[in-house]
């Protein structure tokens, strides 16, 4: 059982480049999330998707776009990377509010 699979694990981008982080879950979860981890700030929500076909902004959506391609997959796109987007990104999924969330392995992104 793979759980939540997130790719890539590491990425270095130059300022202005674009990239897409991929996330897939095989647990038939309804909700999927993208977070970024910054020192002293815990996990901050970038975007979330409560169900297939819907997406909503979280706390820090600027500079990002998302796609909920189907129930399994939720991708995060950086159209024009900036050094402020250097962070560790986590994808997560959850069936319902009264069940636990599961996390991907994280993507360490550096923008130079």
Q: Which residues bind another protein (CB under 8 A)?
A: 30-31, 33, 35, 40-45, 48, 50, 56, 58-59, 90, 92, 94, 96-106
CB of 57 to another protein, least distance (A): 10
Looking at the Cβ atoms of 46 and 78, the one nearer to another protein is: 46
In 1-112 the beta strands, taken as DSSP E runs, fall at 4-7, 10-13, 19-25, 31-37, 43-49, 56-57, 64-68, 74-78, 87-94, 101-103, 107-111
CB of 77 to another protein, least distance (A): 20
Report the alpha-carbon distance of residue 48 to residue 68 in Å, rounded: 9
CB of 15 to another protein, least distance (A): 26
């Amino acid at each position: 059982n793979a759980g939540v699979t997130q790719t890539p694990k590491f990425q270095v981008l130059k300022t202005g480049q674009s990239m897409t982080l991929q996330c897939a879950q095989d647990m038939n979860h309804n909700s999927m999330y993208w977070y970024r981890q910054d020192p002293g700030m815990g996990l901050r929500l970038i975007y979330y998707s409560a169900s297939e076909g819907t997406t909503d902004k979280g706390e820090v959506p600027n500079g990002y776009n998302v796609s909920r391609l189907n129930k399994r997959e939720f991708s995060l796109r950086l159209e024009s990377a900036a050094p402020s987007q250097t962070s560790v990104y986590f994808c997560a999924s959850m069936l319902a509010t009264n069940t636990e969330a599961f996390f991907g392995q994280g993507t360490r992104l550096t923008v130079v």
